[in-house]
Chains A and B, each alone.
Chain A
Amino acid sequence: MSGAGGRARTSRLWLAFLLAPGLVVMTMFVVWPLLSAFRYAFYGFHGLVPAGFVGLANFRDVLFAAPFSAMTLRAFEHNLIVFAALMAGQNGLAYLIAFALLKTLPGHRLHQVIIFLPVVLSAVIVGFLWQLFLNPLFGLVNQALLLAGIQGPPWLGDSTTALGSLIFTNAWHWIGFPALIFLAGMQRISRETLEAARLDGANDRALLRRIIWPLVAPSTTIVVVLTFIGSFNWFELPYIMTGLNGDPGGATDVLGLYFYRTAFGGVSSGLQDFGHGSALAVLMFLFIASVSAIVLRVLRRREIEA
């Protein structure tokens, strides 16, 4: 076997050989589960085996039929709150931190490390750690408050503070990531631009609002989209800190927990219900994918304008 034809065939074979494992893995673990979830969403279940095609009944149940509809709405609202709070609190602060780091004040390298450090910890460790810190009796937080003469609430057990505590923990864990993205974006702005603005008399505030903010638009796009996807797929932290039921009394229930609980059942209280679970998963996927696509389009246009 020789000549150009043979060589081309060999290289095609090589290509196929190298692509095949990845393709097989993708199909088995991404495409196939997605398609089967989509299919299961249209089936009723008798125990654990599909019992028959039920059309859109599962979707109708989770969206409109009591008591599922109330749970779906409650979880969705919590996801929205999480997204809004993380955008304003976590990412807003990250933006300011990035600016502070950009100014290369003394000790900025150390601060950069400190701020990014929690990001490398796993969500399990962070969740467990903060669960201990927030324990009403033994926890670090309430012990510290007690020294100041304040009796702290049972942070994770009070329906008014539980979700906020989770959001705070999430921000503590992740703030280094948007800060790093913003910092990278800011460092890409040419020094001349910033110095010109300074010479024109811009203070920090004006610099942040008028010059840097439009110029870090690509970073903002990434941060917004990732925060959106992260907020609506939120699972690990609430699962570890407040459990599969979104304790207390559903105050921290989010779509991720609700889906898992519905599809796979609680520890001792729930049953596996693949039909409704799959319907939820499909709805979540469609919502996240479509909103992400729209957000991406809008923000990309903003980047170009800038």
Chain B
Amino acid sequence: MRSSRIGGMMLAAASLWGMASASARAGDITFWTWRQEDRAAFAELFADFTKANPDIHVKFEAFAPANYNTIVSAALAAGHGGDVLGVRAYGGLEQLATAGYLKPLDAKTVPELANLPAEALAAESVRADHRVYAVAFASQTLGLLINKDIFAKAGVTPPTDWAGFLAACAKLKAAGVIPIANGTATGWMDEVMAGIFTGPFLGNGFMQDVVAGRATFADPRYVAALGHLLELRPFMPPGYTGIDYPTAQQLFLSGRAAMFAGGSFEIANFRKQNPKLALDFIAPPAPKAGEPQYVSKFFDGGYAVNAKSAHGADALKLVRWMGTTAYADKFSSLLGNISPIKGVTISDPLLAKVAKLNEVSVPYVMAVYFRYETPTGSELLQNGLQRMMAGSETPAQLGAEVTAGIAKYYKPFQKK
């Protein structure tokens, strides 16, 4: 009698457990991303998709950016996860793709890949076999966001060369504003800032040399470029080593600082936070007047199909649609990001300007080439930059340190 009662309770517990796992409708697919802020825009985008594909409904699920990689890889390892996944580019993508978690895409399954430029395809491919695993969604441009009002009030025109830039900073400082909002307390922002200001000094020649193994980061060109960053210190906020990313943003948004060295991904956010801000985006200064003002460029991430998706065909349809100009146009206008899809119309004048700046660009070197193995170039550089900007390390030491770290897995650096 008693044992049958125990059995009954176990049965009840088991059935409750079973009911807890929700059942999904056929034709329902899920979309995973780390961009919680995009929810409203995607509601609109997915409504368009469902209009064209009435039997497919897409559910938007976002996770905290700091834990997104961990959540996705854990879910995929267990055979779960969204049907369509927002994935990072370069090394982050390669980790998921080589593990076999993502469905490879080709011209036959996703003819829309033809809409993407070669560098966008490369960003979402595995280096070993050049197979594409995701449709890139945005290119990001790194440059200077400036407050036009402050510049006008101080009587400063946006500088185009290094000497002019330092003079402009001095003038802004004399006018009582912080010339550059950036601090060094947030590691990834240091890498962004270094990318922006060293880009024009390095140019594509240096980048090609590094990729071909002809130069390392101990190269005099790179060390000299890092040295220029030290000249910016007087124009950063007081106590800049303790200024983190959110503080720097607030300094710029509140009009206490004239410039913010950052990415095009800030534009939409800055406008939302301070709609009255007279925002402009300019390229960093060239070494000398008349030389090219390279911005740094990289691809943010892409849309991939979960290899274990139970709705593979529907997921593929969604990814194909995300490779069309119709999607790209709306994506760019709703989210203020630059879609890499060829023939995209960018209606916003500032974004269109950024897209134009992209024509004179260098790759954001660590993200594009050295985030594939540990320790990544980014990790090494970010930590070292903080020390260099604080004065406890020289540019030459930093260059040597980054080179030695990367040499652990990158053969061309081992010989040097």
Contact = CB atoms under 8 A, between A and B. Distances in A.
B92 A157 contact: no
A271 B373 contact: yes
Nearest to A155: B242
Interface residues of B, number: 64
B242 A245 contact: no
Given A47-B94, A138-B247, A265-B69, A157 B187 contact: no
Contacts of B243: 136-137, 154, 157
A111 B258 CA distance: 48
A157 B375 contact: no
Contacts of A9: 3
A248 B69 contact: no
B238 A271 contact: no
B316 to A, nearest CB: 22
B390 interface: yes
Given A47-B98, A271-B374, A136 B242 contact: yes
Contacts of B6: 13-14, 17
B91 A271 contact: yes
Contact of A271 (B77, B95, B97): B95
Contacts of B69: 264-265, 272
A13 B373 contact: no
A160 B380 CA distance: 20
Contacts of A65: 408
Contacts of B405: 67
A276 B97 contact: no
Nearest to B250: A138
Interface string A274-306: 001000000000000000000000000000000
B387 A159 contact: yes
Interface in A203-261: 242-245, 247-250, 261
Interface string B75-91: 01100000000001001
A14 B5 CA distance: 10
Interface residues of A, number: 48
By secondary structure, the A interface counts as: loop
A125 B154 CA distance: 41
Given A49-B100, A262-B374, A267-B66, A67 B408 contact: yes
Contacts of A157: 183-185, 239-244, 390
Most chain B CB inside 10 Å of its own CB: which residue of A138, A142, A156, A157: A157
Interface of B: 1-3, 6, 9-10, 65-66, 69-70, 73, 76-77, 88, 91-92, 94-101, 183-188, 191, 237-244, 247, 251, 366-367, 371-376, 378-380, 382-384, 386-387, 390, 392-393, 401, 404-405, 408
Given A48-B73, A154-B240, 19 more contacts: A49-B99, A67-B375, A67-B405, A68-B375, A134-B242, A136-B237, A154-B241, A155-B242, A156-B244, A157-B183, A158-B390, A245-B187, A245-B379, A250-B383, A264-B69, A268-B367, A268-B378, A272-B95, A273-B374
Interface of A: 1, 9-10, 13-14, 17, 46-49, 65-68, 134-138, 142, 153-159, 242-245, 247-250, 261-262, 264-273, 276
